[in-house]
Amino acid sequence: MSDSYTRPKGTQDLLPGDQAYWDFVRATVVDLARAYGFERIDTPLFEETALFARGVGEATDIVEKEMYSFRDKGERELTLRPEFTAGVVRAYIENGLRVLPKPVKLYSMGPAFRYEQPQAGRYRQFHQFNAEIFGIEDPLADLEIMLLAWDIYAALGFQNLSFQLNSTGCPKCRPEYVATLASYYHAHAGEICEDCQRRLETNPLRVLDCKQRQCQPIIEAAPKITDHLCEECRQHFERLRGHLDDLGKPYTINSRLVRGLDYYTKTVFEVWAEGIGAQSAVCGGGRYDGLMELLDGPPTPAVGFAAGLERAVLVMQHQQVEPPALPIPPVYVAYLDKRTRSRAVQLLVRIREAGIGAQIAMSGSLRSQLRHADKRGARFVLILGEDELDRGEVTVKDLGSEGAQQAVPLAEIVPWLEARLEEA
Ligand code: AMP
């Protein structure tokens, strides 16, 4: 037996030193989502297992291999969410959000869980920002989703961004393409990997994103879905590309991009950024016009994307994007001994009541308190000793200007601090 506990495989502790990155990423995505008219929705961390089996697709890697499923004490079959969209669509139906004026633009953010093989940028508990637009068939909604994704990474300061773009067709044109793809693959049955032989039966489109070396030449020469789109899908794709061209947004048509979830129709896309090696997709999404009906809701076109927050932080670190420093309480209250301590606590509370961030020394000599204040990054140390108290004063040491010291009447300390902090 090990003599200490460790975190479960594939999870991370986000320590205080990591939090400036996380705060910056979270604040950036939320600010942009709000500025673009998206409203927040929060759904449970777990849902009925059947929701994901249906919504994500029985034959996907997620449902086949990656779900954290369990039975609760009431014999309910539940699963920690492996992605957000199925839960958001369930909530849309259950809460009657169909009555809202269209488009309904929603975002959510939080942890998701997949039993994957952990590696850089791939975890078992990870965090996603998720955005969706419901009720609009027009490619303008696809564009809006793609712009939000793009602008998030631009606002985070990433360089070398690009869109990968494809269409996965619709129930009208996809079956014919899948049949063409399958017969092409059957002709090469001897050359493809075992997984692809299996995928060919269960989920043929997925052969296109196989990573096995032996399958690469077969994929390269495979028929492309964009050559087999029906008129509606073709026009949709063209109009979306037209919008992107007009805006000068760089994109690469990637006919291997099919994405791991079954629910996509028409548009699929990813944003790639330099910095996480093989895991270069920082986000991915697309259109899923059939999902609402599949989950027994009213037919409702929809388009959305999910962005991994860990990957955003990794890219920031790789591209040396520094997040803004987290705010530090500017005031630190120090005291000489036990006798002056209770007056120091009163002073602390007064300063906090005025809305100024402050902390108090909790142990040590005055010298070590001052050292601690410096390490914590405080601007002003207020020192209370017997002499100062007798004179109704407090000594203020300004760590921001080489430790200059001055006495300030206790009665005036709050306005004094307010004035100095305003200048800063
Ligand atoms: P998906 O839901 O698979 O379309 O993934 C959308 C985004 O979520 C990806 O582009 C990643 O940024 C992130 N993501 C997906 N799976 C993981 C994982 N296991 N660990 C970390 N990030 C992930």
Q: What is the pLDDT of residue 233?
A: 97
| Centre of ligand 1 from the C-alpha of residue 81, in Å | 12
pLDDT above 60 (res 278): no
- Give nearest CA residue, ligand 1 atom 14: 308
| Centre of ligand 1 from the C-alpha of residue 310, in Å | 9
* Joined tokens for residue 87: 């839960």
In whole angstroms, what is the distance from residue 137 CA to residue 151 CA? 22
Which ligand 1 atom minimizes the distance to the CA of 307? Answer: 7
| Centre of ligand 1 from the C-alpha of residue 307, in Å | 7
pLDDT, tens digit, for every residue of 115-134?
999 998 899 999 999 999 99
Contacts of residue 384, defined as CB under 8 A and 6 or more positions apart, other chains included, come to 333, 334, 335, 336, 340, 343, 344, 347, 394, 395
Q: What average pLDDT score do residues 260-286 get?
A: 82
- Give nearest CA residue, ligand 1 atom 21: 122
Which ligand 1 atom minimizes the distance to the CA of 259? Answer: 4
Q: What is the pLDDT of residue 18?
A: 95
pLDDT above 60 (res 358): yes
Confidence label for 260 from pLDDT (cuts 50, 70 and 90): low
Contacts of residue 252, defined as CB under 8 A and 6 or more positions apart, other chains included, come to 162, 163, 164, 165
CA separation, residue 346 to residues 192, 333, 352, 397, 411 (Å): 75, 10, 10, 19, 12
pLDDT above 70 (res 421): yes
Q: What is the pLDDT of residue 59?
A: 82
pLDDT above 90 (res 277): no
* Joined tokens for residue 407: 């006495």
What is the percent of the chain where pLDDT is above 70? 98
| Ramachandran bin of 293, using left for φ above 0, alpha for ψ from -120 to 50, beta for the remaining angles | alpha
Instruction: Name the nearest CA neighbour of 344 among 355, 332, 356, 353.
Output: 332
In whole angstroms, what is the distance from residue 116 CA to residue 136 CA? 34
| Centre of ligand 1 from the C-alpha of residue 200, in Å | 24
- Give nearest CA residue, ligand 1 atom 8: 308
Q: What is the pLDDT of residue 416?
A: 97
Q: In degrees, to the nearest 5, what angle opens at C-alpha 144 toward C-alphas 270 and 289?
A: 75
Count how many Cα atoms sit within 13 Å of the Cα of residue 72 in the half-sphere of its side chain. Answer: 10
pLDDT, tens digit, for every residue of 198-235?
888 888 888 998 888 999 999 999 999 999 999 999 99
From 109, 283, 288, 303, the mutation candidate for ligand 1 (largest count of ligand atoms within 8 A of CB) is 283
- Give nearest CA residue, ligand 1 atom 20: 122
| Centre of ligand 1 from the C-alpha of residue 259, in Å | 11
- Give nearest CA residue, ligand 1 atom 17: 122
pLDDT, tens digit, for every residue of 19-33?
999 999 999 999 999
pLDDT above 80 (res 311): yes
In whole angstroms, what is the distance from residue 356 CA to residue 350 CA? 9
Q: What is the pLDDT of residue 139?
A: 98
User: Are 88 and 112 a contacting pair, CB within 8 Å?
Assistant: no
Confidence label for 166 from pLDDT (cuts 50, 70 and 90): very high
pLDDT above 70 (res 61): yes
Least confident piece of the model among 27-41, 139-153, 269-283, 333-347: 269-283
Q: What is the pLDDT of residue 199?
A: 85
- Mean pLDDT in the chain? 94
In whole angstroms, what is the distance from residue 133 CA to residue 293 CA? 16
Q: What is the pLDDT of residue 276?
A: 65
Q: Which residue has the higher pLDDT, 403 or 346?
A: 346
Q: What is the pLDDT of residue 258?
A: 84
| Centre of ligand 1 from the C-alpha of residue 82, in Å | 9
Count how many Cα atoms sit within 13 Å of the Cα of residue 421 in the half-sphere of its side chain. Answer: 20
Question: What is the 3-class SS of the chain, one letter each residue?
Answer: CCCCCCCCCCCCCCCHHHHHHHHHHHHHHHHHHHHCCCEECCCCCEEEHHHHHHHHCCCCHHHHHHCCEEECCCCCEEEECCCCHHHHHHHHHHCCHHHCCCCEEEEEEEEEECCCCCECCECCEEEEEEEEEECCCCHHHHHHHHHHHHHHHHHCCCCCCEEEEEECCCCCCHHHHHHHHHHHHHHCHHHCCHHHHHHHHHCHHHHHHCCCHHHHHHHHCCCCHHHCCCHHHHHHHHHHHHHHHHHCCCEEECCCCCCCCCCCEEEEEEEECCCCCCCCEEEEEEECCCHHHHCCCCCCCEEEEEEEHHHHHHHHHHCCCCCCCCCCCCEEEEECCHHHHHHHHHHHHHHHHCCCCEEECCCCCHHHHHHHHHHCCCCEEEEECHHHHHHCEEEEEEHHHCCEEEEEEHHHHHHHHHHHHHHC
pLDDT above 70 (res 5): yes
What is the percent of the chain where pLDDT is above 90? 84
Which ligand 1 atom minimizes the distance to the CA of 281? Answer: 10
Q: Which pTM value belongs to this model?
A: 0.92
Confidence label for 58 from pLDDT (cuts 50, 70 and 90): confident
Q: What is the pLDDT of residue 423?
A: 86
Ligand 1: lining residues by beta carbon, under 6 Å: 83, 114, 116, 121-123, 126, 128, 259-260, 281-284, 306-308, 310-311
From 311, 313, 314, the mutation candidate for ligand 1 (largest count of ligand atoms within 8 A of CB) is 311
CB atoms < 10 A from the CB of 111, how many? 14
| Centre of ligand 1 from the C-alpha of residue 308, in Å | 5
Instruction: Name the nearest CA neighbour of 41 among 127, 124, 126, 129.
Output: 129
Q: What average pLDDT score do residues 59-85 get?
A: 95
Please, what is the end-to-end C-alpha distance for the chain in angstroms?
55
pLDDT above 60 (res 1): no
